[in-house]
Amino acid sequence: MAKYSLSANHCLSSGYQSEVLRGWQSSNTNVTPDQLVYPVFVTDEDADAKQPIEGFPDQYRYGINTLITTLKPLCDKGLKSVLLFGVTKLPKDNEGSGASHSQTTVIQAIRAIRTHLPELVIICDVCLCAYTNHGHCGVLDEDGSINNESSIERLAEVASSYAKAGCDIVAPSDMMDGRIGAIKAALRRCNLMSKVAVMSYSAKFASCFYGPFRSAAKSAPGKGDRKGYQLPPGSRGLAVRANDRDVAEGADYLMVKPGMPYLDIVRDTKNKFPNHPLAVYQVSGEYTMLHQAAAVGAFDLRQVVMESLQCMRRAGADILITYFTPQILDWLKEDKK
């Protein structure tokens, strides 16, 4: 039997036989502290709280005091940005009034961070689900359906309240039609449009990977689901159109959520909007899945986390939102030794 003669231009392995060469073959997939955003849950139940979250390993709801003491050493290690989610004891209603209350936990957190960690970039999630008595992301009509116009007006009020408190970026995650335009208009009215950016959850899918988050934020819908306003998992076209819409309305940053199952959408988005910074959210279910699998020895946690983030970077992500941020900061510091 004749031996196969390998063509010289089909011999690829010679190009990645050392760490340096492998790095050259993996351009623009590096992970640095500047790219990381740490999502944190802030509660108003107790300023000194550090509440474990069932089903969400090593994640906590922090009171204002423990939030600062937790973030300070991370900033010393290179943390540049946080994404804030509020968990409140304020009364809940159809409009989510507590989201923009002057004493709501997110506004308290913004002020505390501005005082104690002024260089930290503050991103505020903008949604109503954690503040409504029905757990949906918008205002409901009497028949239980979403009232889109009332919802985007309310979301714009919430975004403005966070902007006035001193955040750098508002990040609407609700997926209501027209909310980017409504928020931009509200920021213009309070003379903050040129000072506070909008990061749109522009391609957010109706995913089962959000389970641990909803427990953390106490934001699960009381009835029904969110399939009527979050994107169907199998829809590529709607993701393209949603990104188009939010760019047209003035979004400064785009986002794909979840991350790993939707890397095709990440690449689609980056190809179409190369000049818009793109965030990918490695969501609570992805985090827990990797964490638990590593705990039983399926693989090494550090290796699998860094591989997953490198793949997100390869697909086009500029910004990595991940609950693994504290560990990653340690790993990156170890790599420099």
* Residue 90, token pair as written in the block: 């304020």
Q: Report how far residue 62's alpha carbon sits from residue 39's, in angstroms, rounded to the nearest whole number.
A: 12
> Could you tell me whether strands 203-204 and 278-282 are parallel, antiparallel, or unpaired per DSSP bridges?
unpaired
Confidence of residue 16 (pLDDT cuts 50, 70, 90): confident
**pLDDT over threshold 90, residue 187:** yes
- Is cis: bond before 258, omega within 30 of 0? yes
Of these residues, 204, 270, 333, 337, which one is catalytic? 204
Identify the pLDDT of residue 3. Answer: 76
Mean residue pLDDT of the chain comes to 89
Q: What is the mean pLDDT of residues 82-94?
A: 90
Give the least confident one: 31-40, 174-183, 252-261.
174-183
User: What pLDDT, on the 0 to 100 scale, is given for residue 25?
Assistant: 73
Alpha-carbon distances of 254 from 15, 20, 317, rounded to whole Å:
34, 32, 10
Residue 55 to residues 33, 60, 304, 324: CA-CA distances in angstroms?
27, 11, 20, 15
Mean pLDDT over 315-326 rounds to 96
Tell me the per-residue pLDDT of 155-164, one tens digit each, with 9 for 90 and over.
Answer: 999 999 999 9
Compute the distance between CA of residue 323 and CA of residue 302 in angstroms, rounded to an integer. 13
| Out of 124-138, 160-174, 288-302, least confident range | 124-138
Best mean pLDDT range from 17-26, 167-176, 203-212: 167-176
17 or 77, greater pLDDT: 77
Q: pLDDT grade, residue 15 (50/70/90)? A: confident
Our answer to whether residue 257 is catalytic in this structure is: yes
pLDDT tens digits along 253-285: 999 999 999 999 999 999 999 999 999 999 999
Query: What is the C-alpha to C-alpha distance for residues 33 and 184, in angstroms, rounded to an integer?
Result: 29
What is the C-alpha to C-alpha distance for residues 28 and 318, in angstroms, rounded to an integer? 9
Exactly one of 92, 184, 257, 270 is catalytic; which is it?
257
pLDDT (0 to 100) of residue 110: 97
Alpha-carbon span 192 to 39, nearest angstrom? 24
Residue 218: its pLDDT value, please? 58
Helix, strand or coil for residue 326? Answer: helix
Determine the pLDDT at residue 89: 85
Catalytic-residue membership of 272: no
Read off the pLDDT of each residue in 167-187 and give the average, rounded to a whole number. 92
Look at residue 236 and tell me whether its pLDDT is greater than 60: yes
CA nearest neighbour of 254 among 205, 202, 309, 321? 202
Percent of the chain with pLDDT over 70: 91
Low-confidence winner among 40-49, 226-235, 259-268, 274-283 (lowest mean pLDDT): 226-235
Q: Give the closest residue to 71 by CA, choosing from 38, 30, 96.
A: 38
